Amino acid sequence: MRYRSPRGTQDILPELQPYWHHIVQSAENIATKYNYKKIDTPMFEDTDLFLRGVGEGTDIVEKEMYTFLDRGGDSLTLRPEGTASICRAYIEHGMHTLPQPVRLYYIAPAFRYERPQRGRFRQHHQFGLEAIGDGSPIIDAEIIELAYQYLYSAGISKMQFMINNIGDKSCRPMFVNALVEFYKKRLDDICEDCRLRFSKNPLRLLDCKRTDYLCQQMIGDSPHTVDYLCTECDEHWNRLLSYLDSLNINYIINPRLVRGLDYYTKTVFEVHPQESGSQTALLGGGRYDGLMEELGSKPVPGIGFGSGIERIVGELRTNKNFVIKELIPDAIMIHIGSPASLEVIKIASSLRNEGMNIVIAPDGRSLRGQMRYAESMKASYVIIIGQNEIDSGLAQVKNMSNGTQKSCPINELSPDSFSNID
């Protein structure tokens, strides 16, 4: 084959579309219930937005961005994630004048030059939302509950909901110091990536997935972020936990959860399927109280999450108990001879106007051939019109599930004609 979709991308074929439709509908229903409004931002932004927003020491910025110079010589980057763009839009459109927090959601593609593997693509799609302008842990609880409700309504009933608090700019340095002290004496035990992280961005040490060195053991024995919180972060954390308890949300405190983007402060969370490793987060997010300032605005707190639609589709497809509704015609119109084909084209049009899904069988096939076609399309009914039917003015309508057949006046065919053929 000469052309294929670029590595790490995929066509979303018609048979997968019902899953996408279902997930997008679940997302929009839930977002609406919590009064989040939709926003769309451009697919690309000034590269600098992501350098500042996502952070120069992150994998996304260092290795994964699709960056290019346009014909005017400006450096642009395909959006690798949604939050920086939403914050840019909040500042650009003066949304601080609206009632706070501003609640926004988006469903959009994101681009990362990653090593493609199961559930990891170079173009993926996120349902994401952001609440900007309120620093209270009540909003954290709202977003976490919303995330839970979204996944549940999309059909993910078993999940691991992990949360942590990574402190803010006043207490995080204390934790990072403790981490550096802990790793300092054992640099020979960790992988070369971790040695780089140690000098550039020590928090990322807790993200290492390699098992060929002692990195996992080191992570297991390392200090916990929540033991180094300042009074404000600690109070935020305890209030959040009490809200989640009162909502009966089943969460796991994961003291090593730090997330892969630099903007996070205080609350961070990730959701993983019940039975799999850490490569496959279905959803991830957290608070980013310093990001707006980083982008040049006055300080405005924010929190949100992003959830990979491809990963949810993948989960639903492996769940035998999850049944998705296919798009199946209500009826196939079978026609023999040209007067009949003239008739069926009109009948199909009028039944569609009354809300039915109607397909006309391909022209020029025998009655048997058209019946075989109707079976392969899994249609519920067929309507048969040949010369005899034209002469008598009566069409044959057949229920494909039980074989029952009856005659119906051609000029009276309507959705009701199908209701009593059982």
Binding to ligand HAM (CB under 6 A) within 87-126 occurs at 112, 114, 119-121, 124, 126
With CB under 6 A as the contact rule, the residue among 311, 334, 340, 348 that binds ligand HAM is: 311
Sheet-wide strand order for 75-78 = 44-46, 75-78, 67-69
Q: Which stretch binds ligand HAM (CB under 6 A): 70-78, 152-160, 276-284, 386-394?
A: 276-284
Question: At a CB cut-off of 8 Å and minimum separation 6, what does 360 contact?
Answer: 332, 333, 335, 341, 344, 345, 348
Question: What does the alpha-carbon distance between residue 310 and residue 108 come to, in Å, rounded to a whole number?
Answer: 12
Least distance in angstroms from the C-beta of 310 to ligand HAM = 5
With CB under 6 A as the contact rule, the residue among 290, 308, 316, 397 that binds ligand HAM is: 308
- By beta-carbon proximity to ligand HAM, the closer residue of 315 and 389 is 315
The H or E element that residue 91 is part of is: helix 83-92
Least distance in angstroms from the C-beta of 156 to ligand HAM = 11
User: Under rule CB under 6 A, how many of the chain's residues touch ligand HAM?
Assistant: 27
Radius of gyration of the chain (CA): 28
Token pair belonging to 278: 């850490």
- By beta-carbon proximity to ligand HAM, the closer residue of 107 and 179 is 107
Token pair belonging to 287: 């608070």
- Is residue 239 near ligand HAM by the rule CB under 6 A? no
With CB under 6 A as the contact rule, the residue among 150, 305, 381, 418 that binds ligand HAM is: 305
- Is residue 128 near ligand HAM by the rule CB under 6 A? yes
Q: What are phi and psi of 41, to 5 degrees?
A: -120, 165
Q: Which stretch binds ligand HAM (CB under 6 A): 209-217, 308-316, 360-368, 374-382?
A: 308-316
51, 75 contact by CB (below 8 A): no
Around Cβ 126, how many Cβ atoms within 10 Å? Answer: 24
Least distance in angstroms from the C-beta of 69 to ligand HAM = 24
Question: What does the alpha-carbon distance between residue 35 and residue 101 come to, in Å, rounded to a whole number?
Answer: 11
E strand map for 52-169: 67-69, 75-78, 102-111, 123-132, 159-165
Least distance in angstroms from the C-beta of 21 to ligand HAM = 19
What does the binding site for ligand HAM look like in residue numbers (CB under 6 A)?
81-83, 112, 114, 119-121, 124, 126, 128, 130, 260-261, 281-286, 304-308, 310-311
